[in-house]
Structure 1
Amino acid sequence: MCSVKCSRCIGTSLYPLVLISIICNIVLFFPGGDVKYARDGHITQEVRYMGGLVGGGFMVLIPAIFISMTGENGCCGFRFGMFFSIVFAAMGVAGGLYSFIVAGLGVHYGPLCNNGGVWNTPFKNSNPSYLTNQKSWRVCTEPKNVVQFNIGLFFTLMATSGLQVLLCAVQMINGLFGCLCGAGNKNEEA
């Protein structure tokens, strides 16, 4: 597959991943589907870091747009455009890594919840991990099912950002080949 077609495929594949990241991060602000927790500041620091919105969202959206344009015939389908696709793909890798790390910390530390009348993160220093001990999840009385809520959304962010990093890394390699060897396009401008 030539560099142009590969760029178009990668750019198009990044759009739904960006959308999933943004949606997951926004939903994390409303545990239990209620705005009162965000309003009262009862959300974890990892949600406030906005890894899915900033990292997996906007920091990957900008490269996705440019990478898609690199794949368009007549628009940046030459060596210069492929070189810049490497730079933008590196930005996408950085954004995906930021989202992955923040989501990983969110899973590791667990949710902020009401634990016997006190708002804290009861699983932050748990040993063994709270993920394997579902009975321990009962310590969180409010918001309802917040542990499952956080685990599901943060794992989704980790999977999504992992794919973003992989696709952007592939584009960096593809851009390098396109830059050195040409875009594989008959209308290529050198």
Structure 2
Amino acid sequence: MCSGGFAKCLGISLIPLAIVCVLCNILLFFPGGTSVDTDHITEQVFYFGGILGSGVLMIFPALVFLGLKNNDCCGCCGNESCGRRFAMLSSILFAGVGVLGAGYSVIVSAVAINRGPLCLVSINNTVEWMHPFSNGDYLSDKASWSECLEPVDVVEWHLSLFSVLLVMGLIQIALCAIQVLNGLLGALCGDCCGCCGESDGAV
């Protein structure tokens, strides 16, 4: 497969991942599937890891990867393949942007999972909104989840959506890292389906 064609496959894969991340981040604004005051929403949700990091910032490299296969490069600098080589090289920069965006989402998600959700807790016959889990120990102690009185099932909601963001972010990082290698190969070796091959076939 041509380096440009392979990049297009990566771009096609990144778009649905970005959409899923945006949707997950939006759903996190409704803990437990209910509407609550903004003061009762986990702080990490407002960092927009899924919307900005794995969402908006991921759209740019995805679109660039999609356009590499159809890049019109013939005649650049007197060399039919140099335009495509430059396009593959520039895609590395956009892949770097994707890695940074997805990395930001992964960090935010990991912190949120470790800290746990913000919920209503009963302490000494009084109820207050707080983070009852100081670290990630609650992950292996499902019985402790009952400490969160409201919103209902907020722990499952919080853990599931941030876990999806974490996994999607790691996949995005892997795909962008692959494009870095693919871009280097395309820049150094040229696209196997480049303009030279096309012009030769037309003769």
**TM-score strictly above 0.5:** yes
Select the residue among 28, 41, 47 that pairs with 1:43: 41
Q: Which runs of 4+ in 1 moved over 4 A?
A: none
Separation in structure 2 between the aligned mates of residue 119 and residue 153 of structure 1, nearest angstrom: 21
The structural deviation recorded for 1:59 is 1.0
Contact 1:63 1:89 in 2 (8 A): yes
Q: 1:125-164 alignment to 2 at 5 Å? A: 125=135, 129-164=137-172
Give the structure 1 partner of residue 132 of structure 2.
122
1:74 alignment counterpart: 72
Measured in 1, the distance between the counterparts of 2:161 and 2:109 equals: 9
d(CA) in 2 for partners of 1:162 and 1:155?
11
Provide the aligned C-alpha RMSD in A: 1.8
Q: Which residue of 2 aligns with 1:108?
A: 114
Kindly state the Cα deviation for residue 183 of structure 1 after the two structures are TM-superposed. 1.8
Give the structure with higher Rg (CA). Answer: 2
**Distance of aligned partners of 1:188 and 1:106 in 2 relative to their CA distance in 1, 3 Å threshold:** farther
1:142-176 CA-partner distances (Å, limit 9, x unpaired): 00000000000011001100100000000011001
- Rounded to whole Å, the distance in 1 between the matches of 2:196 and 2:10 is 20
**Match of 1:59?**
57
In structure 1, runs of 5+ residues without a counterpart are: none
Paired residues in the alignment total: 185
The answer for unaligned runs of 5 or more in structure 2 is 75-82, 198-203
Change (3 A) 1:188 1:130: farther
TM-score after normalising by structure 1: 0.92
1:16 aligned partner, one-letter code: P
The answer for the alignment partner of 2:105 in structure 1 is 99
